[in-house]
Amino acid sequence: MVDSGAVSADEEESHRPSAGLLFGKYELGKLVGRGAFAKVYHARDARTGQSVAIKAVSKQRLVKGGLNAHVTREIAILHRLRHHHIVRLFEVLATKTKIYFVMEFAKGGELFAKISKGRFSEDLSRRYFQQLISAVGYCHSRGVFHRDLKPENLLLDENLELKVSDFGLSAVADQIRPDGLLHTLCGTPAYVAPEILAKKGYDGARADVWSCGVVLFVLNAGYLPFNDPNLMVMYRKIYKGEFRVPRWTSPELRQLLTRLLDPNPSTRITVDEIIKDPWFKQGYDEKKSRFHQEDSDLKLPGNEGGRRRLNAFDIISGAPGFNLSGMFREASKYEKTERFVTGERPERVVEELEAAAKEENLKVEKEEWGMKLEGGKYKIAMVVEINRLTEELVMIEVRTKRGSWGDRIRPCLIHLSVRSPVEAVYRVR
């Protein structure tokens, strides 16, 4: 979780028109959790009666804490994921000072609270581990690596089904360096894989498997496999994979834990191998659990005709009225910004813009992120950033310093675009 500080009374009132609702939609309830940069509230959708969790995040504190990238990444990642055992993000809303995540409400609370009362039976440990591996394997298939798996980030719904949450430290495949590895040091010390501590690069999927192994150990034992008041002593135990399995552990589970908590990532068990493990397989429906993707729920409003419309998770970092990028970057020296979304390839966008620039006799300077266009009769000065949002969609952001580029270049962009300009927020249900 991230703490924003409380939703101020003044700010809440500004979004409580006549019915006393947050944004005219949600009846805000009690505080259910807090972190360093956010507070989480239980709320009710006034239209449907559905319980939701609303995480209120302070933009100012995010900037000061340097966590803006974590929030935008979490939004983008949660848009990718639709799985029964992953907390769902319904909507993102914002004011000048706060960002609000409207999420699935996990009525059962944190798994940590349950295990703190005593260890689970081996059967119950297996059940939750199966649900965890189902979610984690699905994330990996979508190019997402959680990197902070622990009981505090595993929630339970009203039916006591597992829900993986808090993707703020997650990485995506795009962050993998040319050596094929991730390099960011992150995670919770007692759950982090030894290769992450070594700071030499690591495979995100194998690091997640290690954390899953620690979680399974905790469920079965009721305590951590690697723990010591002296952090360096604990790290040495992690490096060597030194732990003792409780006497009540079955031989089959003992063997699986040994393979999960293998300090050598190259020989550590993989998700595919876990699913074939005899202890794990008991009562496990691979077809239902491993591939339980709710992609059918990804229909967007206005998508009935087959053309995909950009939604809040894709555009929240750049949408007019809810522009998070302006909160995270220095003020732009350009006077005007407009955004377009297209289904064309980035290369085609560049070709079209080059042709339009040639007609206006503009100087074109290509960059890795886009291009700069300057000169001409109208003394145009503009920057064009081209960013891929999804496999199908590309966002074109145009910033101008002066001149009538809108009259000269805009028709080219409108010709390419799916929507122009980009609208602020769309709901995904």
d(CA 164, CA 40) in angstroms, rounded, equals 16
d(CA 231, CA 234) in angstroms, rounded, equals 5
Integer-rounded Cα radius of gyration of the chain? 24
Question: 327 — phi, psi (to 5°)?
Answer: -85, -20
β-pair type (144-145, 154-156): unpaired
β-partners of residue 388 are: 394
Structure token digits, residue 137: 């394997």
Instruction: Give Cβ neighbours of residue 196 (< 8 Å, ≥ 6 apart).
Output: 185, 186, 187, 202, 207
Query: Which is the catalytic residue, given 3, 10, 148, 179?
Result: 148
d(CA 274, CA 271) in angstroms, rounded, equals 5
Structure token digits, residue 130: 């199966």
Contact 342, 393 (CB under 8 A): yes
Contact 422, 396 (CB under 8 A): no
Instruction: Identify the CA nearest to 55 among candidates 108, 91, 79.
Output: 91
Cα separations in angstroms, 115 against 152, 157, 282, 381: 10, 16, 22, 60
Q: Which amino acid, one-letter code, is at 226?
A: F
β-partners of residue 367 are: 370
Q: How far is CA 89 from the centre of its chain?
A: 10
How many C-beta atoms lie closer than 10 Å to residue 91's C-beta? Answer: 22
Instruction: Identify the CA nearest to 314 among candidates 306, 304, 324.
Output: 324
d(CA 268, CA 375) in angstroms, rounded, equals 59
How many C-beta atoms lie closer than 10 Å to residue 83's C-beta? Answer: 23
Helices (H), 222-323: 231-240, 251-260, 271-276, 278-281, 286-290, 312-315
> Within 13 Å of residue 76, how many CA atoms lie on the same side as its CB?
21
For residue 272, indicate whether it is catalytic: no
Residues catalogued as catalytic: 148
